[in-house]
Chain A
């Protein structure tokens, strides 16, 4: 699916660099042809890796193992704390250990279809191909995946698939995979091949001669701005779900590093594709700082329902079967409770919008385990989900073994991100983007258990090859010196920006602005969007930006630990990004995956895609409040986009 050069709407700036040949052979063709860097030369190349989650830690460990000289940065106090750690349910791979018909092709097909035909075939196929290597690698590192009594690995099912291909470590799969990658990273740190710098925030990208050649970081302990030069920069900084203020993301997850790169020339692709996860603990009050996810794996054994009669105020366990509406099973008989996330979330919203929501706020539906407990016994359910049930009980005070959970959708993941080609390189040469930070593999909706797969695929198995191609092309040229004008100018801008925030002495905290932005995005760029809502939110976000620079207040100084200063910078970037999200959603006059425009739906209320006009990637070039749109046309040679049906 090479880009269609003849299509006038295809931007010449967006060459996907997908190799020619059959889909199944593209990655091999690429690997056979790619330039290699000799071991002696690898040592002389310095690679900067920003972020230490699954993508960053796996890339750092692997590249250092190959012999590159790596410096890795993270904002936490330890690389072990990156937000990948919070992923619960599992990781997909096409191992077909259960012998239930899975293949690389099926994993590819489910992912493309799950993404509502808005991702690149070749990238997704490669992801499915390397999925099996990830499981092998993790087991060799000592990741304690769940096993059967015979000692072999266990699998479970996840939404959007009819095979069991998800590997898991209780409800802590992300934690165990991250610790595996962190330990591999620690091995390389001990060997002196990785310099690890925690409590550093990347505040800008240094570009010289049209190439990414360094970063400016802020030491979060001392406040000092620091310069680092490298032959390439790998951005592994995660997604931007925290733009919504309330999301399941960790408090420190942010878009700042990616947004700074965007302002330096990296195009931002499909920012409107955000995933609202169907099973989260509902909001309880204004003080709330974040939302907590309840793993999608719960939908394997839990049944979603609401009372048929909106006035039915009985306790859920007293409502008889014939007074309950298991609406997912009713509307989607073949996938039932395991429909993909976007479909499940919209269905919950519909029930609540029509007045059948439960709980005090009426913004919740039940997720009920009674039948599974009767069928399998409490002990089996405890083994599968014990830690999730405990977490639910700690937060809500209710015991899900005896009363159904109450759940509601929440922002969870962002499919959009910086545009990258097949080599994971952005529109700035030398800047590579891995994991959730790129837009690459999930189209308009990500399937469950595929985020861990993508982060690790990018870091362990893709970047080691594609980075080599770039580095080999650099030859033996020296990195840009730290006293180059490009470093001086970039650091000065970063410093001015911090001063501006501190000198403002306004009357409103960064959190207040963040909360307001979150409300705007959730109401208008959330689960359901309209032209008029998007237009008004775009204007409101611009007003919020103006107000931010007039009224923001951050006490303390720049030259020490100052959490509010960090947050203020991130909120300013979220506001600018929020405007781009609204603009992108406004431009995409169709519904697909997580992007649902009320104007474009089928008579049954499902998302109505428009492949004629929107089978594309919208990549935005930064230009203040008037961003410039570039399109990459998506062509499908191996699958035929159809109306997604889970009925």
Chain B
């Protein structure tokens, strides 16, 4: 198949970017979208041009490195799929596809399609953990946890930290990302001890990073490659109120 691409090129954080047109003549429906970009980059190298920079690593939808706006949608048109697992069979021969970086105030552009998502790490550093040092743990079966509870916690723990939720949100909010960690740890007995401290600290950090507020658009849930539910955001709000009132 032949695929036309309009790709955002930007030299660095401060320079002005623009959309540039390219064509890949030898695309195949079995390729992943990132493999299509690989083929384009080999083409650019052959012609002496600079390749398009984008982040990717595991290419099986789990590391969260990749993330692109494909045809205006974070990770592209296929539901619950990171862009590394989006395959060209989702497109038609002759399509023109626009490719842009994840845009948000808190995700500055580094180059082309690569953005800086280190704000997410700082949110986790703001108490997105259980404070347990190595060696001090009781036996793993000491506290029974209902299967349903662990299954719910796992649904939230599945977050890959890709940032699609932020890119899709009209407010550039990181609420789904933050709520996923708060819900994962908050559902488990191990996370109870520090629950109030955690939610206040993480929410404050989220604000300090320049992410917007949540207005219940639910665009985040729609693009999340792991299908994380916005119920987590409601849970986070309740936990925040509880934490503030008990402080």
Listed in ascending order, the chain A residues whose CB lies under 8 Å from chain B are 58, 61-62, 65, 76-83, 85-86, 95, 97, 133, 135-142, 144-153, 169-170, 172, 175-176, 179, 182-184, 186-187, 189-190, 196, 198, 221, 250-252, 284-285, 287-290, 292-293, 390-391, 394-395, 397, 460-461, 464, 509, 511-512, 553, 555-556, 560-561, 563-564
**Count of CB-CB pairs between chains A and B under 8 Å:** 210
Q: Which of A80, A391, A460 contacts B85 (CB 8 A)?
A: A391
Chain A residue at minimal CB-CB distance from B115? A77
Contact A136 B137 (CB under 8 A): yes
Known contacts A142-B190, A563-B53: A287-B31 contact under CB 8 Å: yes
Residue of B nearest to A459 (CB): B134
Give the most central of B62, B131, B158: most A CB within 10 Å: B62
Chain B, interface size: which category? Answer: 35 or more
Question: Which A residues are in CB contact (< 8 Å) with B133?
Answer: 62, 65
Which residues of A lie under 8 Å from residue B184 when comparing CB positions? Answer: 142, 144
Which secondary structure characterizes the binding site on chain B?
Answer: loop
Contact of A186 among B55, B63, B124, B150 (CB under 8 A): B124
Given contacts A77-B117, A145-B150, A147-B145, contact A137 B137 (CB under 8 A): yes
A501 to chain B, nearest CB (A): 14
Contacting A at CB under 8 A, from B99-118, are 110-111, 114, 116-118
Give the distance in Å from the alpha carbon of A172 to the alpha carbon of B34 in the complex. Answer: 22
CB–CB B157/A77 < 8 A = no
Bound-state CA distance A95–B139 (Å) is 10
Q: When the two chains form their complex, are residues A95 and B140 in contact, meaning their CB atoms are under 8 A apart? A: yes
**Given the contacts A77-B117, A391-B60, A184 and B150 also touching, CB distance less than 8 Å:** no
Q: Which residues of B contact A (CB under 8 A)?
A: 12, 28, 30-32, 34-35, 38-39, 42, 45-46, 48-51, 53, 55-65, 78, 80-81, 85, 87, 89, 110-111, 114, 116-118, 120-121, 124-141, 144-147, 150, 153-154, 157-158, 160-161, 184-185, 188, 190-191
A-chain residues with CB within 8 Å of residue B129 when the two chains form the complex? 141-142, 183-184, 186-187
Among all A-B residue pairs, the 5 with the closest Cβ atoms: A151-B144, A183-B129, A140-B137, A136-B137, A139-B140
Q: A141–B58 contact, CB under 8 A? A: no
Which chain A residue shows the least CB distance to B46? Answer: A509
* Contact indicator A285/B58 (Cβ below 8 Å): no
CA distance A80 to B117 in the complex (A): 12
Asked if A85 contacts B58 (CB within 8 A), the reply is: yes
Cβ A289 vs Cβ B34 within 8 A: yes
Tell whether, in the assembled complex, residue A287 and residue B45 are in contact, meaning their CB atoms are under 8 Å apart: no
Cβ-defined contact, B128 with A395, below 8 A: no
Chain A residues near B53 (CB-CB < 8 A): 561, 563
A-side contacts of B118, CB under 8 Å: 77-78, 198
Q: Looking across the interface, which residue of chain A has its beta carbon closest to that of B26?
A: A287
- Whether A560 lies near B140 (C-beta < 8 A) is no
User: Which residue of A76, A144, A287, A560 contacts B188 across the interface (Cβ within 8 Å)?
Assistant: A144
Q: Contact: B185 with A285, CB < 8 Å?
A: no
